[in-house]
A = this chain, B = another copy of it.
Amino acid sequence: MFFASDNTSGVPVQVLDALARANEGYAPGYGADDAMTRVTALIREVFEAPEAAVYLVATGTAANALALATHVRPWQTIYCSRVAHIEEDECAAPEFYAGGAKLTLLEETDGKIAPETLARVLNDAPQGVHHVQRGIVSLTNLTERGARYSAAEIAQLAAIARAHGLPVHLDGARFANALVAEGCTPAEMSWRAGVDVLSFGGTKNGLLGVEAVILFDPAKAWEFELRRKRGGHLFSKHRYLSAQMEAYLTDGLWLDLARQANAMGARLHAGVEGAGARLVHPRGGNMLFVEMTRDQHAALRAAGAVYYDWPAPHPASGPGDQPLQARLVTSWSTTEADIGRFVETMQAAR
């Protein structure tokens, strides 16, 4: 009963097989491998973006920090939600990569920024020499609270950014989960909606550790390459990254994995509600924030369930202070059996 994160899962056999195939013979390093040529072609096709520049890195923090740094100057600010991963979970990596840029935190609901909020903040931002300048808008889909932007909602926010001359970044660590839930095309949820640069997640959805950064406008491609190298994120044996991403994109594997994760999320959703618990945020895909009783928490822990209390309790908190929320994440490898056991345990402790 592992619901701590989708990144506690392993990878499907297709990905391991691809690594084994990639292992044969010699290959030039640093992204000059043939498989990377194929990956670029695949992503351009999948995203209907024949000009896009495509780069692979191994962590989501690297993808986000490099993508953002390439689009802001050190005296600019990155607009994001108050609960954005780039604010809460990256130990100031964006600030580091962007040379001391700032993050401006926007009010959010379910991790989503409302258009009026963005419009107001951008309008009100003073632009004199004493102030950090407006830099970029960063959204996350699925959000960090498990909710989902529609392509239209992203387009609405991006239009506001564009009206101020700002580019838009999308943290797509769970892009696939959002996409299959929304039922739109990759292009519709990215560049057609106004996204300039996308962190296209692979790791949480079944890879060992690969994310693509997609620059829909390739003008900054060379800068990105230099930043990636300088950040230590250019792999010598790059073929092993390429192989993972190629397998991911072949025969729609990435979409199948996300559909499976979402289906398990839906099943868990129904189960916990049946057990009398309620979701704190609307479920956009495979991540659920569930409020339950202390007894249910205790029973689940006793039964071996692994998940995060939410928000993370302070080390000094006593048992009475324990929060009542659980963050539950399903993945491509979540089983119906595990969900069944989880829900039964909740039911029994109701």
Contact = CB atoms under 8 A, between A and B. Distances in A.
Contact of A92 (B57, B230, B237): B230
Nearest to A4: B28
Interface in A247-293: none
Interface in A70-114: 73-75, 77, 88-93, 95-103, 105
Copies of this chain in its oligomeric complex: 4
A38 interface: no
Interface string A294-330: 0000000000001000001011100000000000000
A58 B92 contact: no
A341 interface: no
Interface stretch (A42-50, A126-134, A148-156): A126-134
A225 interface: yes
Interface stretch (A59-67, A139-147, A178-186): A59-67
A170 to B, nearest CB: 18
Interface residues of A, number: 83
Nearest to A225: B129
Nearest to A28: B8
Contact of A230 (B27, B91, B128): B91
A140 to B, nearest CB: 15
Contacts of A314: 123-124
Given A23-B11, A26-B8, A99-B99, A132 B232 contact: no
A60 B91 contact: no
